[in-house]
Structure 1
Amino acid sequence: MQQLSFRAGEGRHRVELTASLTGDGLVVTIAGGERPHIGAVCVGLPRPSMDDPARLSCNVAVLPVVGHKDDEIARPVAEKLARHTGQVSVVAAGLHVDAASDRDIALLIANAWQVVDKLLEALGKKG
């Protein structure tokens, strides 16, 4: 099993992604901020598109931890990874900054997408 890690941002806006490549799936953790945790787990399940079976689409199962909103990043990441890789993609996410402002949240989200794009680039997939 191959392991990949990526980081983006600094200080309280730092986000880290760790991916385990199983051969037929991805297990990804996205954590950061002041208190990394598990706030949601999502599973992206690739499937042929109903509009165009030649294209890949995806279903996502979402399991948020009560009181957390991390599914708002875990869900679209699981979908993007499943669609771009054609593999089942499990994403556990937890980003937290105390008394977060809109700017703090925007920086955490931007940094999360940066590490996802770095992963896709390392896998030779378009971001």
Structure 2
Amino acid sequence: MIHICKSRGRIEIQMDAYLMGTDDVVILISGGDRPHLGTITTGTKDQPLQTTQFQQHQEFYITEEIAMNLRKHWRGNFAICGGIHIDQINREEINQLIEMVVEMGNELILKLQK
């Protein structure tokens, strides 16, 4: 398992990646006041991404961002599950959260390539 945490201000996020065999990976992104399962994005290098969004959750913005970068660098299948909820989040915090998740995704790719 690969575990990555980041925090800025009141935003705390964690990313956990679980290898399944040598080619597949499941990634869990969670944090905030009420972690949950909001969106799942799946993919592989050679097929279009598929995203399932539960209710009105908008984590697809982050799961798809990570997926688009991951598919450039990962050889196998992947599933990215995301659920971050921060009460009363403002625009600046949303931008910080997205930046943090992208940084975490880049760090994860480097660790997966080792």
Size of the aligned set, in residue pairs, is: 113
The corresponding residue for 1:103 is 92
Percent identity between matched residues is 25
- TM-score, length-scaled by structure 1: 0.81
8 Å contact kept, 2:30–2:82: yes
Gaps of 5+ in 1: 48-57
The corresponding residue for 1:72 is 61
Q: Please tell me the residue identity of whatever aligns with 2:33.
A: E
What SS is found at the alignment partner of 1:111? Answer: helix
- TM-score, length-scaled by structure 2: 0.90
Gaps of 5+ in 2: none
Q: Please tell me the residue identity of whatever aligns with 2:86.
A: V
State the 1:123 CA deviation: 2.0
Using the alignment, how far apart are the partners of 1:12 and 1:67 within structure 2?
23
State the 1:82 CA deviation: 2.2
8 Å contact kept, 1:39–1:65: yes
In our comparison, the structure showing a higher alpha carbon Rg is: 1
The corresponding residue for 1:32 is 31
Q: Please tell me the residue identity of whatever aligns with 2:90.
A: S
The corresponding residue for 2:80 is 91
